[in-house]
Structure 1
Amino acid sequence: MISAFQPKIILSVYFCKIIIEQKSELNMKTIVLLMFVIIIASCASQQKLESITEIITTTPEQINSKLEFEFTPGKAHNHPSIAIWIEDLEGNYIETLYVTQYFAKGVFGHGEIEQGKWKNESGNVRRPATLPFWSHKRNIKAADGLYAPSPETAVPDVLTGATPKAGFTLKTGSKATDNMFRILVEVNQPWDSNDFWTNDKFPDDFNYKTSLQPALVYAVTVSPNDTGMLYYLNPIGHSHYSGKTGELFTDISTITTAREIFSKIAVTVK
């Protein structure tokens, strides 16, 4: 996978090549210094972007416990889809706290004319492999039989937000009244292959090929009474590779770069 700053370095080297070709009278020390300055400036620009933390606020219908999430991007972060929700200790779905907007609405920046063919305007896109564990937990089926949100079964605006470019803080809350409840997060990036989850692993499964490495699920059990307590979410499994079921697969030994989308996911009870 190409990291976010590599294109900038490549571009910097290209400009250095131009300098060398057009300024042949420059001595080698000057050229090396110019290359160093340009590359450092490019890296600094990327680091500045990654240091920016967006603040997102969602407003569930009822809040009994305030929650604040901190998502720290990892080296494989590249505009992932995210869902955050609450369950009781028996695994029963209670409510959704946040879903990235494109998936939450079923409408993406480039609509799909047919499988693999796109148009240069927004439109409906069906991606059941994106966040299937959350989709099945939510248990709202669209007219086409899929649990992924469609424009008709979209997540309410107050629970969605644009896909964060890097790290972000989510301020929200839950209606859960139990002494303990579970917080779950599902994360996925499209076309995220590795040596195990290859493009030709399931050659006839189009939905699989939109995801490759399946969505990764994180969880933690919290007490609403622990005001000020910081909890860290850890991976507990991955979703079905093409979203056909709501199963959770606890063996994540084949998941590699998908585990590096976020280096840390934490939540504080406020």
Structure 2
Amino acid sequence: MKKFVMLITVAVGLMQTSCNKKLLEYESDDVRVEIAEGEEWLHDFPLFLGIKKKNPPQIAIWIEDSSGRYVSTIYVSQKIATEGWLNANGNRRKEALPRWCHSRGIQYDDGLFCPTKQQPVTDALTGATPRKGFGMYFREKTGLQRFRVLVEVNHSTDFTDVYAEDAAPSSPYYSGGKEGSGQPALVYMADVDLSMQSRSFTASLIGHSSPDGSDGGIYTDMEGIDSALRIVKQITVRLK
């Protein structure tokens, strides 16, 4: 598999609390992915007895070539990378970040594409999503002049009247039930061309992932999606 060599030197423990703004100096053709948080970045996640915790979203950042073939993962939230879900009651949460899961193309023993406790993600930086916007560096080492940077974001239990908690499994709006996502994951993409004079590329929303996580498709019908649109304010890919 083609790899991107990472230029990240922070420890996972540091990533669990904040993002180091001074990871490394840019070198020639180094790339930085910057995610600016929106007003819905933190979401009330129910714990017990009416107590809620404000959680940041689950996020995956990865690279595809210009034809849409998966190349490598830059960063993925620890919960999905290690199956470390809270109060999931055995739910593998296949609907959390299904585009990223299916893009990797790794199918596990239970037939799902999301990592397991026994087989966690090992080829990318993982950690708890920072509670504010953050940035990640990487260096393109495959020789690609053009590639895509994709970012998938999602909150757990982010229900709406359309993506309801009690939606039937047969409904097109079913998103995992009580412990599921509610509104489906959103996918953003930036087309990067290293040969262009432009050194900044803004990612655009290209749609949402499969609500129930059954496939890796992109869907453009945005009915019932509202607060999820405000999780991220802007995603920018910058070159030196």
State whether TM-score is above 0.5.
yes
Task: Write the distance in 2 (CA, Å) between the matches of 1:228 and 1:248.
Answer: 28
Cα shift at 1:251: 2.2
- Which deviations, in whole Å up to 9, do the C-alpha atoms of 1:137-194 show, x marking residues without a partner? 0011112111011123321165212211111122223334222111111000001122
Residue pairs, 1:104-143, within 5 angstroms: 104-108=81-85, 110=86, 112=88, 114-115=89-90, 126-143=92-109
Q: Please state whether the residue corresponding to 1:248 is helix, strand or coil.
A: coil
- Which deviations, in whole Å up to 9, do the C-alpha atoms of 1:191-235 show, x marking residues without a partner? 112232122233576725410110000001001234771111111
- Compute the TM-score of the two structures, normalised by the length of structure 1: 0.68
Letter in 2 for 1:74: G
- Which deviations, in whole Å up to 9, do the C-alpha atoms of 1:103-149 show, x marking residues without a partner? 111124x465x45xxxxxxxxx6211100001000011112111011
Q: Identify, as 1 or 2, the structure richer in helix.
A: 1
Does 1:195 find its partner at 2:172? no
Which residue matches 2:128?
Answer: 162
Letter in 1 for 2:126: T
Q: Is the 8 A contact 1:56 1:170 kept in 2?
A: no
C-alpha RMSD of matched pairs (Å): 2.8
> Kindly tell me: are residues 229 and 164 of structure 1, through their superposed partners in 2, closer, same or farther at Cα, counting changes over 3 Å?
same
> Kindly tell me: are residues 56 and 134 of structure 1, through their superposed partners in 2, closer, same or farther at Cα, counting changes over 3 Å?
farther
Does 1:55 find its partner at 2:55? no
Does 1:81 find its partner at 2:46? no
Q: Is the 8 A contact 2:65 2:147 kept in 1?
A: yes
Does 1:99 find its partner at 2:76? yes
Which residue matches 1:214?
Answer: 184
**Rg larger in 1 or in 2?**
1
Task: Write the distance in 2 (CA, Å) between the matches of 1:159 and 1:187.
Answer: 16
Q: Is the 8 A contact 2:175 2:181 kept in 1?
A: no
Task: Write the distance in 1 (CA, Å) between the matches of 2:129 and 2:187.
Answer: 18
Does 1:66 find its partner at 2:43? no
Does 1:262 find its partner at 2:232? yes
Report % sequence identity.
36
Q: Which has the higher contact order (CA 8 A, sep 6+)?
A: 2
Unaligned runs of at least 5 residues, structure 2: 1-16, 43-55
> Kindly tell me: are residues 191 and 149 of structure 1, through their superposed partners in 2, closer, same or farther at Cα, counting changes over 3 Å?
same
Task: Write the distance in 1 (CA, Å) between the matches of 2:109 and 2:28.
Answer: 34
